[in-house]
Amino acid sequence: MYESTNRRLRAVYRVTFLGLVVNLVLAAGKLAAGLIGRSGAMIADAVHSFSDMITDVVVLVFAKLSAKPEDATHNFGHGKYETLATVIISLFLAGVGVGILWESIGAIIRAVRGEWLPRPGFVALLAAVVSIVVKELLYQYTVREGRRLESSSVVANAWHHRSDAFSSIGTFIGIGCAYFLGEKWRVADPVVAAIVSLFIFKIACDLIRDGFGELLERSLPADVEQEMRGIIVHSPEVHDLHALRTRRIGPVMAVDAHIRVDGAMEVERSHELVADIERRLRERFGGRIIATIQVEPFIGAGDPSSC
């Protein structure tokens, strides 16, 4: 289990550190392109990329904390540090969405009032294309690894990468209109950015909802619980499963089940039965599972405990 945890931690570090390096290079390039090309939209896009670097650091720090084994004060490990990281990243993502919307509305108001908007340079348009391609590729890689590792914080960070790609799409459209279609079309930049910001905010809200659900001990999805029930009652020696409680602790699933077996069953056999149930649960759900199976006697229909 310890080896598996270490492998997972190294994988989280690898994918996040790659994102950190890409964000650093990309943000610096977009900032230079924004300054040289006189594009406020590209400068804002560069700031968005710098924000990704902050969330990369959050993931790296909290992944280390969440990988710590259980101790006297954390009997189920430290997995919820990763959930907390997810919430922090998502809140930051929501803040970025609100910030983009605020700036976009301000730019739209200025354009409506007749204020002049500068024509950006071609280098800013080229930087937007590079940003879209690079950040979408980084999203695809990061979200695939996050799902493979069952890491909510890595998945959340992947969506932050994609939000930057969405932002660059808006930037590309706005810069393209301003560059090719003339001054009256330059308002397209803030309009598209405002629309994109709403998508970013929606993604952030979904991730925040899931993160708080886990922190507040929400049960696993109904289909997962149903599959667990089937595994637990698979043996004909299990007469009844009368209680099942589930929750997620970071990357770990915790299961608490009460089963009824023949009251005359020997203790050694009941222990073997429980071990077999736990083994099959680990085989199905990848080993990162804490199962507590309580055995109770089943006497028959007249058993008062069955009421």
d(CA 134, CA 32): 17
Q: For residue 216, give every residue at least 6 positions away whose Cβ sits within 8 Å of its Cβ, in sequence order, or none.
A: none
Which amino acid is located at 94 in the chain?
A: A
pLDDT tens, 202-238? 878 888 888 888 888 888 889 999 999 999 999 899 9
Q: For residue 15, give every residue at least 6 positions away whose Cβ sits within 8 Å of its Cβ, in sequence order, or none.
A: 141, 142, 145, 146, 154
Q: For residue 231, give every residue at least 6 positions away whose Cβ sits within 8 Å of its Cβ, in sequence order, or none.
A: 277, 280, 281, 284
Tens digit of each residue's pLDDT, the chain (307 residues): 444 667 777 887 888 888 889 988 998 999 899 899 878 778 777 877 776 676 667 767 776 676 677 777 776 767 777 788 878 888 888 888 888 888 888 888 888 888 876 777 899 899 999 999 999 999 999 999 988 887 777 888 888 788 888 878 888 888 888 888 877 887 877 787 787 778 778 878 888 888 888 888 888 889 999 999 999 999 899 998 988 999 888 768 889 999 999 988 999 999 999 999 999 998 888 657 888 899 999 866 545 454 4
Beta strands in the chain (DSSP E): 240-249, 252-262, 289-298
Crossing angle of helices 188-215 and 80-112, in 10° steps, is 160
Domains of the chain: 2-215 (1.20.1510.10), 222-306 (3.30.70.1350)
pLDDT computed for residue 90 by the predictor: 83
pLDDT computed for residue 161 by the predictor: 85
CB contact at 8 A, 134 and 98: no
Alpha-carbon separation of residue 65 from 119, 142, 190, 195 (angstroms)? 48, 20, 40, 37
pLDDT computed for residue 4 by the predictor: 60
pLDDT computed for residue 5 by the predictor: 61
Closest CA to 12 of 250, 207, 224: 250
d(CA 130, CA 32): 14
pLDDT tens, 35-84? 998 787 787 778 777 766 766 677 677 766 766 777 777 767 677 777 88
Alpha-carbon separation of residue 59 from 10, 155, 160 (angstroms)? 12, 10, 12
Closest CA to 204 of 139, 145, 157, 151: 157
pLDDT computed for residue 140 by the predictor: 94
For every residue of 95-160, DSSP letters joined together read HHHHHHHHHHHHHHHHHHTT---PPPPHHHHHHHHHHHHHHHHHHHHHHHHHHHTT-HHHHHHHHH
pLDDT computed for residue 306 by the predictor: 46
Q: For residue 78, give every residue at least 6 positions away whose Cβ sits within 8 Å of its Cβ, in sequence order, or none.
A: 65, 66, 67, 68, 70, 250
pLDDT computed for residue 2 by the predictor: 46
pLDDT computed for residue 55 by the predictor: 67
d(CA 156, CA 162): 10
Exposure class string for 223-251: b at 16+ Cβ within 10 A, else e? ebeeebeebbbeeebbbebeebebbbbbb
- 219 DSSP assignment: P
**Which position has the token pair 């709403």?**
198
Q: For residue 147, give every residue at least 6 positions away whose Cβ sits within 8 Å of its Cβ, in sequence order, or none.
A: 155
CB contact at 8 A, 248 and 254: yes
Which amino acid is located at 169 in the chain?
A: I
pLDDT computed for residue 302 by the predictor: 46
